[in-house]
Structure 1
Amino acid sequence: MAPIYPQVAALVFAALPFGSPAAAAVMHGVYDGSQAEMAARLVLRPDGKLAYALSYGALDEQAQGRWVEADGKLLLTTEPKPKPPRFAVVSDKPAADGSIHVALSDPDLLQGSSLTMAVTYEGASAPAFVEVDEDGRLPVPPGKTVAALVPDLPVFEQPLPAYALTPGGHSIVFRFEPNDLGIAALDKEPLGIDGDVLVMQRHGRTILFRKSGG
């Protein structure tokens, strides 16, 4: 954990130096949430601003914004609101064989894995995850019609916006646009308050932020 922790701490303090004006809020301070295989840091300024950073496995995220205390909890909100990543369509050409063919403009994104698509069929309320054939053709079950689709990257907790299809064959090339990837989209993210410990539920883990010396 030693190589990760200094990077996270440096990120937080460089992004938002800590200060202590006279009208200091009770909760303000520097909090350390690091544990086995995880580095986490939270800075709460007396003026209501915050800086947050988390490094956990392949995940690295950070945020700046504002915090408020309400109803016995601490609420964190990223400001400005980050622009989420997406897949843009580079080209969408008719496919003579009537099938749907898909590809990425940067195949290295897959790191050697097969391309999987999140496919929404007409009349379905949730997408199905379908692995694309080696030649780029998307297998479609008999009787099914594809209404929308988007490449699936499992690193994202929420599905990326899907691309709606018109009837017929398609040959589509997608380009990944990271936008504000790596910035946590906190929207009144609730942290429990247990004495001087702040309790955060994030990415399936419980993070205990304990106030440190600064």
Structure 2
Amino acid sequence: MMKPLLAPLFALLSVAAQAQEATPGAGTAVSPAGDYVHSEREMIAGLRLNPDGSFEYALTVGSLDESAKGRWQAEGNRIRLTSDPRPVPPTITATRIDADPGKPFSIRVLTPRGVDMPGVDMLVEFDSGDPLDTYTPGVPWTVPADENRSPRFVTFSMPSYRLRSERLPLDPKPGTTAIFSLTPNDFGVADFTGAEVEFQAGKLILHRPEGSMDFRRVEPREKDGEPE
């Protein structure tokens, strides 16, 4: 589930484009088909527009790996992307209550392998006062020692992966652990349906709700190891 997507990313950036592009001239449009790359600090992303109207995308930054594929259609200097198939976001649901005698009430989010999932944002609501913004630490989560209120609801989220659970009730009895299960579905696959790309000379600008990214065109000589 968490396997990095480096292989498809570098494959996307290293394989030479097969399409023969038109030579610019009077009345001749330049095809946007080709390979494009975005690179900054620890982030690298690749976007390939295939001549058959399909696209491939991959990104890696820090602990986040993301991919996408589907169809593209040019409308003037704009390109519309549609994910195909459309990815299903991951979910987190309540599973069971485990007995854990002698220990405080705790919360666990488990992967399909039965291990704790770290880094899931949690909004914990109590019987009074403001909620607590926290996250799963990769081990059972317990109420902070200086917290005297009783937790009543929890909502899980991972915005980068389009995950947001329902508002789930809690029964915080000492000696019990509330178990929640992560169903990966298409974990790490971005939904590009409705995303728009601007096509400019030598580059693309990808617009998404998360922000815009500039991609420069990778020429065949660069992909063959001979940068201009």
Give me the TM-score of the superposition, normalised by structure 2. 0.62
Match of residue 185 from structure 2: 179
User: Which deviates more, 190-199 or 155-164?
Assistant: 155-164
RMSD: 4.6
Match of residue 35 from structure 2: 30
Return the offset for 1:33: 2.4
User: Which deviates more, 167-176 or 183-192?
Assistant: 167-176
Conservation of the 8 A alpha-carbon contact between 2:195 and 2:207? no
Letter in 1 for 2:160: F
Q: In structure 1, how many angstroms separate the alpha carbons of the residues matched to 2:65 and 2:140?
A: 34
Aligned with 1:67 (options 51, 72, 91) = 72
Match of residue 10 from structure 1: 11
Structure number, greater radius of gyration = 2
* Secondary structure of 1:34 counterpart: strand
Return the offset for 1:65: 0.3
Q: In structure 1, how many angstroms separate the alpha carbons of the residues matched to 2:6 and 2:163?
A: 30
Aligned with 1:109 (options 100, 111, 117) = 117
Letter in 1 for 2:91: R
* Secondary structure of 2:89 counterpart: coil
Match of residue 45 from structure 2: 40
Conservation of the 8 A alpha-carbon contact between 2:44 and 2:60? yes
Match of residue 83 from structure 1: 88
Q: In structure 2, how many angstroms separate the alpha carbons of the residues matched to 1:37 and 1:166?
A: 39
Match of residue 63 from structure 2: 58
Match of residue 188 from structure 1: 194
> Residue by residue, what CA displacement relative to the aligned partner does 1:149-168 show, whole Å, maximum 9, x if unpaired?
33x45x73644222543889
1:91-102 mapped onto 2 (5 Å cutoff): 91-92=96-97, 101-102=106-107
Letter in 1 for 2:190: A
> Residue by residue, what CA displacement relative to the aligned partner does 1:151-207 show, whole Å, maximum 9, x if unpaired?
x45x73644222543889685201222221121111221222322310125696653
Match of residue 198 from structure 1: 204
Going from structure 1 to structure 2, the CA distance change for 1:18 and 1:92 (only over 3 Å counts) comes to: farther
Going from structure 1 to structure 2, the CA distance change for 1:196 and 1:148 (only over 3 Å counts) comes to: same
- Give the aligned length: 200
Unaligned runs of 5+ in 1: none
Match of residue 224 from structure 2: none
Conservation of the 8 A alpha-carbon contact between 1:102 and 1:138? no
Return the offset for 1:136: 4.8
Q: In structure 2, how many angstroms separate the alpha carbons of the residues matched to 1:55 and 1:70?
A: 29
Unaligned runs of 5+ in 2: 23-28, 221-228
Give me the TM-score of the superposition, normalised by structure 1. 0.65
Q: In structure 1, how many angstroms separate the alpha carbons of the residues matched to 2:140 and 2:202?
A: 57
Return the offset for 1:90: 2.2
Going from structure 1 to structure 2, the CA distance change for 1:147 and 1:207 (only over 3 Å counts) comes to: same
Conservation of the 8 A alpha-carbon contact between 1:25 and 1:46? no
